[in-house]
Chain A
């Protein structure tokens, strides 16, 4: 029989925090629609089965993978841990910043006679748990498969993930507080979010570029297993392998790693929780300073409805640095193929096999994000809807704003490709156009009024939209690569699949309001 925790105790706050997080998770998974819990559970169950099947196939096809004593495997596991940790850091920084700046129940907490240190201690702990959840879901299938078919000691991976989630939280907290002290409350928010975005993508991209330089490949696994890495990495007795050994279930390594990570998190809680309230209060005081755009009188320009809408969309986007950083995150992934293009200047294989598909994929994803902002993230939907303009014209103008922005961004890369291979440029342009239009159409079919600030959670509003957007981009990317490589016969299959995805998405589109 469980006893209810004492009111105001750590356990009481933890239970409150857990309830809020659980409801938030269910709302996110069910897109806020009641009665979908069963569908969500079914979806998760199917996803778990599929991911486990994939993990099983991958692991059994890799002969010798489970030889945990080999340096190559330790190197690969260490690389995976480092990649995951960079993502965890990114997420933890985002969550810490959100806790500083989001008001939600903080007014209630700070104005109550409760011990606020306990609240913030629990909240920091909750960030560590939340940060660990995604990697646990991502690697859960691999860990479980290894635990079932090799040895149960692989289950230590879950503990290790939580350990690194705690470490990421502690480090993110320290970075946020340091920035708070040096940059001030106003600049910290944007700076931390941009750093979080760069940290999230930076390490992955860095490893990819290193792989390109050393192996002429974008494969991160090949890089970690390369002879060069094996040569420069220290011997098996080195402490650097401690996390990798912990992941394989070596008890001593696991205890050591967990102790270090949790000790650092505990220190961070002891150090920062008592002052958390001060930071929150300081953060609440920002936003009062007016940002002046122009001095003197602004001259109104005569614009058509179309250009007024396009101009407005671009202006709003350019003025929102956070949105720019989030949107351009996807552009960062273009850096490795661009780098590869530069290295393999003129090589047809490099262009068709790697650069064009990634370019098309990135353009499709970017278009999806921008289309969401322009269509669903409209700040004044009622103003636009009550304007004396046919609905179709508004939609067309918004679509043009998205396509124009993509055009401006990809033009320099297309120009670079044109210098190498004019035909490849034409194929890339067609692929980009197809992926961009597809992603925009999907966002149009699944539009739903939302706050621009929830840009990062846009994927949760409709699973059909999210998956169809990703699949159509992948299909167009694949088709572009095949056409560029001269496989004209196979390419139509992928084009047909892309169109099928669009048709399915369209048939699932919800009924739109008047």
Chain B
């Protein structure tokens, strides 16, 4: 079995351990959801995969390439979409996509075709030549997503991509992601919207205090919980309920 992402014994400590011996895999062509309460270490883990943080210990491999030994090869295959869209206010969506294509070294004509397809799909075509400065959060997130997809990554990493999006925009983003998975792309996504994970993810990993505490398909998680009719929300609260309470008390 080919793995898109292989995380082994990952450790990252700031003032306290943020990620603590975390291990999990994402299969090639799989949609994987990473769930956990606030402060569980989801974003830190994904930032290490994307090459934005260096782990203290452990290894990360993307399609067999190690993030520390061959970072450029890993980055060539990966796209990172954070919860806050990272775009340039004074560029238009088309200019932004041209810049991203330049960074990833994509052929200009191919990039142009991809850009127009994505903007059409994300219903941004009418705004393709407008500067992003006046865009709503949803539009900005869609531009960021188009930027992530314009270079045709093999692994897409998304950190809370649906936060703040209206129903229509969220639907569009989900459709685009599912279609990419159908085309063979792998996706790993964190979300607090459990219905999204329930509907979209093939497998779900739950982390708390930087450790993986449960993993599997929805059915496997239900079986592990001992009841076959539980929703993901019930399973999640059962798994991390204490953790959430401890966090709330600490706050």
Contact = CB atoms under 8 A, between A and B. Distances in A.
Contacts of A320: 90
Nearest to A513: B53
Given A298-B95, A379-B89, A388-B75, A305 B131 contact: no
A315 B127 contact: no
A316 interface: yes
Nearest first, the 3 A-B pairs at minimum CB distance are A308-B102, A380-B86, A388-B75
Interface residues of A, number: 41
B103 A305 contact: yes
Interface of B: 50-54, 72-76, 78-80, 82, 86-92, 94-95, 98-105, 107-109, 111-112, 115-116, 127-131, 133-134, 147
A38 interface: no
A294 interface: yes
A451 B109 CA distance: 33
17 contacts: A287-B133, A287-B134, A291-B133, A293-B131, A305-B103, A319-B131, A379-B88, A380-B88, A381-B86, A384-B103, A385-B51, A385-B52, A386-B75, A387-B100, A387-B103, A513-B52, A514-B51
B90 A316 contact: yes
Given A293-B129, A379-B86, A387-B75, A298 B98 contact: yes
B112 A300 contact: yes
Contacts of B111: 300
Q: Tell me whether chain A's interface is mostly helix, strand or loop, or mixed.
A: loop
A299 interface: yes
Given A300-B112, A383-B103, A514-B52, A288 B134 contact: yes
A295 B92 CA distance: 12
A288 B135 CA distance: 8
Contacts of A298: 92, 94-95, 98, 128-129
Contacts of B112: 299-300
A289 B135 CA distance: 10
Contact of B52 (A297, A303, A380, A382): A382
Interface of A: 287-305, 307-309, 312, 315-316, 319-320, 379-390, 513-514
A389 B101 CA distance: 12
B130 A292 contact: yes
A381 B79 CA distance: 14
A179 B80 CA distance: 44
Given A298-B129, A316-B88, A291 B134 contact: yes
A167 B64 CA distance: 68
Contact of A294 (B86, B101, B127, B129): B129
Given A293-B129, A379-B86, A387-B103, 13 more contacts: A288-B134, A290-B127, A290-B131, A292-B130, A300-B98, A301-B108, A312-B91, A316-B90, A320-B90, A379-B89, A388-B105, A389-B72, A389-B75
